[in-house]
Structure 1
Amino acid sequence: MRPPNMSGHFLLAPIPESSSDYLLSRDIKLAVLGAGRVGKSAMIVRFLTKRFIGDYEPNTGKLYSRLVFVEGDQLSIQIQDTPGTIQAQDNLSQTMDSLSKCVQWADGFLLVYSITDYDSYQSIRPLYQHIRKVHPDSKVPVIIVGNKGDLLHARQVQTHDGVQLANELGSLFLEISTSENYEDVYDVFQHLCKEVSKVHSLGGERRRASIIPRPRSPNMQDLKRRFKQALSSKVKSTSALG
């Protein structure tokens, strides 16, 4: 499955040390979560450089920063890679605690599993539930990604399994091949950036509406005083005419 066709392209460049207030106000912070060896770092590097680095994840835990254009708007994007130690059979409570700071920090999430590793697929649900626990009242966008779609001979997770899980969790699902199709990787990050940007825009509108001052209620004593003054003036004018 692929997201709707989206126009516009990313322009990637290092973020200058002295970013403007405008850019800082439009920061988009993304986190890529999932088990080890599912291709998280490979996805990030592929998106930023179009280069495929293979299954090895040398940049785990690294924070990437770039300036991007999304539908004509210039944004500052930060992508947090995370340790690949999450497995369904591990001590999940301890693992989730170690991720809490990252989950609190991020505005949007990619939850990645490998179609060749059923355990990595099983780790997606607790990750999603932890995100919603940390952001209970938020509409933080989450996309579930089934990676390594080119390795069909080693498939352990069927496409319909990913679709069913995403439907249950109310999330978007995409099955991609980081190694073979850059456009798939590009679409995943672009769509997530757009969804986060929408949430930011709605939040900004709500904040602007909240600071508009309410009109003051009329002061009844002041209204009576003004009415008496107007009546008195009218009486004086009538007397003068007479």
Structure 2
Amino acid sequence: MREFNAVVFGAGGVGKSALTVRFIRNEFVENYDPTIEEEYRRTIEVDGELSWLEVLDTAGAEQFTALNEVYIKSGRGFILVFSLTQEASLQEVEHLRQQIYRIKGENSRVPIVLVGTKLDLANEREVERAALEDIAARWGVPFYETSAKRDWNVHDVFEDLVRQMRLRYPTDPHKKRKKPWGNHCLIM
């Protein structure tokens, strides 16, 4: 089974942990408790293939910016989270995206998914879908509008990222462990 790791970035209070915990445990975290760093693992089936996915839920981007560089260097895929009810949080993910490309390289085809949270709070919405479509098109990344509370589109985010990581990091046939005797039966 292939293993991938994903880093969840975004401003504080946008719903990074709620999104992650909904995906990992299928639970909704009602209370806001600022995260420093939480690491989760689970299997995910995408297109009939099982993979291990390690998800690193990070602190709000403005709180521990020094750690961001470490996370970016070790991360293979990134989920950039903002709140649909907070337009300023969308600007924060633009800074994170720039930082990812600065560290990974401009032409590195980094697996990224843009995620707007709190879709269920329609009456508080500040980020219009058309603006989001425009940004995603300019960045060349898929986007999802989600609600961890209602479990809307949460799995789609992680499945999309796994698909991107499979394409970006194909299996290396040289890394497979080979039996010293090949596929033949050995009788001693």
From 52, 71, 74, the equivalent of 1:105 is 74
TM-superposed CA distance for 1:192, in Å, is 0.8
The aligned residue for residue 183 of structure 2 is none
Instruction: Please identify the structure whose Cα radius of gyration is greater.
Output: 1
Alignment of 1:144-223 (within 5 A): 144-180=114-150, 182-201=151-170, 204=172
Is residue 111–residue 145 contact of structure 1 (8 Å, CA) maintained in 2? yes
TM-superposed CA distance for 1:163, in Å, is 1.3
TM-superposed CA distance for 1:73, in Å, is 2.5
TM-superposed CA distance for 1:60, in Å, is 4.1
For the residues of structure 2 that align with 1:143 and 1:55, how far apart are their CA atoms? 25
TM-superposed CA distance for 1:169, in Å, is 1.2
CA RMSD in angstroms, aligned pairs only: 2.1
The aligned residue for residue 92 of structure 2 is 123
More strand by share: 2
TM-superposed CA distance for 1:183, in Å, is 4.7
Q: List per-residue Cα deviations over 1:100-141 (Å, max 9, x = no partner).
A: 000111111110000111111111111111111111142221
Gaps of 5+ in 2: 176-188
What is the letter of the counterpart of residue 204 of structure 1? D
Is residue 22–residue 28 contact of structure 2 (8 Å, CA) maintained in 1? yes
Q: List per-residue Cα deviations over 1:48-106 (Å, max 9, x = no partner).
A: 1211112514554111112333323332210001101439xxxxxx82x4300001111
Q: What's the secondary structure of 1:28's corresponding residue?
A: strand
For the residues of structure 2 that align with 1:70 and 1:152, how far apart are their CA atoms? 30
Whether 2:6 is the aligned partner of 1:30: answer yes
For the residues of structure 2 that align with 1:144 and 1:60, how far apart are their CA atoms? 21
The aligned residue for residue 47 of structure 1 is 23
What is the letter of the counterpart of residue 114 of structure 1? S
Gaps of 5+ in 1: 1-22, 88-93, 209-242
Q: Relative to structure 2, which stretch is displaced further, 55-64 or 28-37?
A: 55-64
More helix by share: 1
Q: What's the secondary structure of 2:153's corresponding residue?
A: helix
Residue correspondences, number: 174
Is residue 39–residue 57 contact of structure 1 (8 Å, CA) maintained in 2? no
For the residues of structure 1 that align with 2:104 and 2:31, how far apart are their CA atoms? 31
Is residue 35–residue 59 contact of structure 2 (8 Å, CA) maintained in 1? no
For the residues of structure 1 that align with 2:152 and 2:84, how far apart are their CA atoms? 19
Whether 2:39 is the aligned partner of 1:63: answer yes
Q: What's the secondary structure of 1:68's corresponding residue?
A: strand
For the residues of structure 1 that align with 2:20 and 2:33, how far apart are their CA atoms? 10
Is residue 39–residue 55 contact of structure 1 (8 Å, CA) maintained in 2? no
What is the letter of the counterpart of residue 49 of structure 1? R
Q: Relative to structure 2, which stretch is displaced further, 53-62 or 74-83?
A: 53-62
The aligned residue for residue 141 of structure 1 is 111
Whether 2:42 is the aligned partner of 1:74: answer no
What is the letter of the counterpart of residue 12 of structure 2? G
